[in-house]
Chains A and B, each alone.
Chain A
Amino acid sequence: MSNILEKESALVRMQADIKKALQKPEDQRRWVMVIDTRKCVGCHACTVSCVAENKLPPGVVYRPVLEHEFGTFPNVGKRFMPRPCMQCDNPPCVPVCPVNATWKRPDGIVAIDYEECIGCRYCITACPYSARTFDMGHTYSQGTPQQMQYELEPNFEYGQEWPREEGVSPEGNVRKCHFCLHRLNEGELPACVTTCIGTANYFGDANDPDSLVAELIASPNAIRLKEEMGTNPKVYYLV
């Protein structure tokens, strides 16, 4: 039974892929996400699971799903494009930070130090994918008599507890998708990958030639967004 599962379920295979990658030193991993736009139905489950996983307040979004409608009746179509952070190999958001509060980790994930970010938002302007959003301090229960406990619960970004308090980081910071680094380091797939109802979302170590993502990005229909910017994104789309 388990053999069948391992052969047939992409999720199980990806899970094994990341466990294997975690055995290697950090700088030898190359985390890559692949999104099959032909399989994406635009259910926004990934967006919602990301909001839940990272307890994102209003106005902060790591992974919206962009919709495009094209053609004329009766030949019309719709394409959906989830947009996480591209975790660029040459991230334009990093060099502009005036206080070195954002950097590319050895495993390629672009991280933010919430304790050091001054909230100047220069990095937001520098990102060609609008992947960074500003936590302005809004709450869902704003304007209601009582703040709900769920809003105060900590998230676990970057492997640390971040309870919600007024004026305290990550409030006032720029925030972005980090491929659920805190889950990855525990051997779990990013929340958006596990939640995708049609397995349109793949994740793994591109440095491992046997991994599922290494196979997928070698196909001729794998593209990356705004290649002309020289950002070298680590998110691929199958079109």
Chain B
Amino acid sequence: MSKTLQRAAWAIAIIGFVVGLVGFYQRLTLGHTATNYGSYVPWGLWVAAYIYFIGLSAGAFLLSALVYVFRVKLLKPVGKLALFTALVTLAAAMFSIWMDLGHPERAWELIFRTNFGSMMGWMAWLYSAYFLLLVVELWFAMRADMAACAGEAGFRGKLCNFLTFGQKDTSDASVERDMNILRILGSIGVPLAVAFHGGVGALFGVVGARPYWNSGLTPITFLVGALASGGALLVFIAAIWGPNRGTEQHKKLVVFLGQIVLGLLLFDLLLEWAEYSINLYTSIPSHAASLRLVLFGQYWWVFWIVHLLIGSVIPVLLLAFSGKNVTAVATAGALIAVTFISVRLNIVIPALAVEELEGLKHAFSGPGLSFDYFPSTAEWLFFIWTVSLAGLLFLIGYSLLPLVTPQKEA
């Protein structure tokens, strides 16, 4: 079963990568002229994709802390998978937002001309620190396993051999030392992940001009959403790619992760309810306008069908009533993880798709001077490309690196 799904994942990722290449090519040759975002809705699918990926990354990373900081034994077999998932989704996030810039060649300014009064200024530094931490943590998490596979014949053995950088001690003492280092790194990583993802939430939250974003709850919703979506992705990955599949231990792990995801998803829905109900009750036009767009606008189905039905109700039912069935839990995880892009789109777009001054809509016309936004073909294709890129990076890493080690971690 999982072998078939693994092969299907390869096929989907390769097809997506090839098809999506057209979008990347269009971005490089046509710049922003092939996109549908612009001046009135300045952020579109690519920004939503960025917060979607970075949320998956933060969520997967924070769950890895259960292994490396809190040493939850049951989850140990998927610790490295969680870290690697965090790394590839971080790569996709960075690529999405990089290509979204009007001048991508000036991205270095984010580090060398940083305005620390801007939440976005902080992001470049926090992501760089997070990237370094992830790489180092992943190395320590894999070091002993790489040392073990360094003796294998073929490319994998050579790669393992090279990546150990000569540190081939596999004694219990050295593994214990690695675990202690990982606990320190993980302990630094948790506040870092809270800072950068809470920070992305704050990036939106501080914008007073957009009442829909301007809430103290925004950074918190971002964090809980990250944990729910990242956890959901991890539970799906653990079910399909995790070690010891078919054993009681694997089942226990998946079921346990599934229950964590259920709790997180319900908490996320509670926060959503708080935000929506209070702002709709007061009905102050500027506060309620974006919410009305989400619930009853042209793209109402994104909320009701994609997010609420497919991404919330069905997974909650699956996790609550078939929570001990690995297939059901994996399905729920996949549904939440995939549909969470709708939550991200519904954060970014509706805040921008309302007129800030009445009459602006018809005052002047031109490309990008519209409040109706739907991503263009080029935008969709490039999005597909980034998703496929992350998928391919994951699959390649999975086949080359000792991300799962069944024998040792029984």
Q: Which of A65, A67, A125 has most B Cβ within 10 Å?
A: A125
**Contact among B31, B203, B208 with A167 in the assembled complex (CB-CB below 8 Å):** B31
Contact across chains for A169 and B103 when beta carbons are under 8 A apart:
yes
Contact across chains for A119 and B101 when beta carbons are under 8 A apart:
yes
Contact across chains for A59 and B366 when beta carbons are under 8 A apart:
yes
B364 on interface, CB distance cutoff 8 Å:
yes
Which residues does chain A contribute within 8 Å of B309, judged by CB atoms? none
Interface of A: prevailing SS = loop
Instruction: Determine the distance from Cα of A225 to Cα of B360 in the docked complex, in whole angstroms.
Output: 14
B368 on interface, CB distance cutoff 8 Å:
yes
Contact across chains for A61 and B367 when beta carbons are under 8 A apart:
no
Instruction: Determine the distance from Cα of A135 to Cα of B32 in the docked complex, in whole angstroms.
Output: 9
Contact across chains for A122 and B118 when beta carbons are under 8 A apart:
yes
Contact across chains for B360 and A64 when beta carbons are under 8 A apart:
yes
Which residues does chain B contribute within 8 Å of A221, judged by CB atoms? none
Instruction: Determine the distance from Cα of A118 to Cα of B114 in the docked complex, in whole angstroms.
Output: 12
Contact across chains for A98 and B121 when beta carbons are under 8 A apart:
yes
A229 on interface, CB distance cutoff 8 Å:
yes
Interface of B: prevailing SS = loop
A187 on interface, CB distance cutoff 8 Å:
no
**Contact among A97, A127, A172 with B102 in the assembled complex (CB-CB below 8 Å):** A172
Bin the interface of chain B by size.
35 or more
Given contacts A118-B101, A126-B207, contact A59 B367 (CB under 8 A): yes
Contact across chains for B109 and A116 when beta carbons are under 8 A apart:
yes
Chain A: CB-nearest residue to B355: A130
Contact across chains for A98 and B366 when beta carbons are under 8 A apart:
no
**Contact among B32, B107, B209, B367 with A58 in the assembled complex (CB-CB below 8 Å):** B367
Nearest Cβ on chain B to A86's Cβ, whole angstroms = 11
Nearest Cβ on chain B to A198's Cβ, whole angstroms = 19
Contact across chains for B115 and A172 when beta carbons are under 8 A apart:
no
Instruction: Determine the distance from Cα of A136 to Cα of B355 in the docked complex, in whole angstroms.
Output: 20
Interface string of A126-137 (1 = CB under 8 A from B): 111110111111
Instruction: Determine the distance from Cα of A134 to Cα of B369 in the docked complex, in whole angstroms.
Output: 9
Q: Which of A58, A65, A116, A118 has most B Cβ within 10 Å?
A: A118
Which residues does chain B contribute within 8 Å of A92, judged by CB atoms? 207-209
Contact across chains for B356 and A128 when beta carbons are under 8 A apart:
yes
Given contacts A65-B363, A173-B103, contact A121 B369 (CB under 8 A): no
A100 on interface, CB distance cutoff 8 Å:
yes
Contact across chains for B360 and A117 when beta carbons are under 8 A apart:
no
Contact across chains for A172 and B359 when beta carbons are under 8 A apart:
no
Bin the interface of chain A by size.
35 or more
Instruction: Identify which of residues 355-393 in chain B touch chain A, using a CB-to-CB cut-off of 8 Å.
Output: 355-360, 362-364, 366-369
Q: Which of B35-43, B60-68, B167-175 contacts A (4 or more CB under 8 A)?
A: B35-43
Instruction: Determine the distance from Cα of A222 to Cα of B364 in the docked complex, in whole angstroms.
Output: 25
**Contact among B40, B209, B364 with A126 in the assembled complex (CB-CB below 8 Å):** B209
Contact across chains for B368 and A133 when beta carbons are under 8 A apart:
yes
Given contacts A121-B43, A167-B31, A225-B357, contact A128 B208 (CB under 8 A): yes
Which residues does chain B contribute within 8 Å of A68, judged by CB atoms? 358-359
A33 on interface, CB distance cutoff 8 Å:
no
Given contacts A98-B123, A136-B33, A136-B35, contact A64 B363 (CB under 8 A): yes
Given contacts A117-B103, A130-B40, contact A83 B363 (CB under 8 A): yes
Instruction: Determine the distance from Cα of A100 to Cα of B363 in the docked complex, in whole angstroms.
Output: 31
Given contacts A59-B39, A99-B109, contact A136 B101 (CB under 8 A): no
Interface string of B170-211 (1 = CB under 8 A from A): 000000000000000000000000000000000100111110
Chain A: CB-nearest residue to B110: A98
Interface string of B118-133 (1 = CB under 8 A from A): 1111011000000000
Which residues does chain A contribute within 8 Å of B119, judged by CB atoms? 96
Instruction: Determine the distance from Cα of A138 to Cα of B366 in the docked complex, in whole angstroms.
Output: 10
Given contacts A68-B359, A98-B120, A132-B39, contact A138 B367 (CB under 8 A): yes
Which residues does chain A contribute within 8 Å of B363, judged by CB atoms? 64-67, 83
Instruction: Determine the distance from Cα of A135 to Cα of B364 in the docked complex, in whole angstroms.
Output: 15
Instruction: Determine the distance from Cα of A80 to Cα of B266 in the docked complex, in whole angstroms.
Output: 49
Contact across chains for B120 and A96 when beta carbons are under 8 A apart:
yes
Nearest Cβ on chain B to A132's Cβ, whole angstroms = 7
Instruction: Determine the distance from Cα of A101 to Cα of B356 in the docked complex, in whole angstroms.
Output: 24
Please, could you name 14 A-B residue pairs with CB atoms under 8 Å apart, sorted by A? A59-B368, A60-B39, A61-B366, A96-B206, A98-B110, A116-B109, A121-B102, A122-B120, A125-B42, A125-B210, A134-B32, A134-B102, A138-B366, A138-B368
Q: A125-B210, A136-B33 are in contact. List 15 more A-B contacts (CB 8 A).
A: A66-B360, A83-B357, A96-B206, A98-B115, A98-B123, A99-B114, A116-B106, A121-B102, A122-B120, A125-B42, A127-B209, A129-B356, A136-B367, A138-B33, A172-B103
**Shortest Cβ-Cβ A-B pairs, 10 listed:** A119-B102, A172-B102, A66-B359, A133-B39, A64-B363, A98-B120, A64-B364, A121-B42, A128-B209, A136-B32
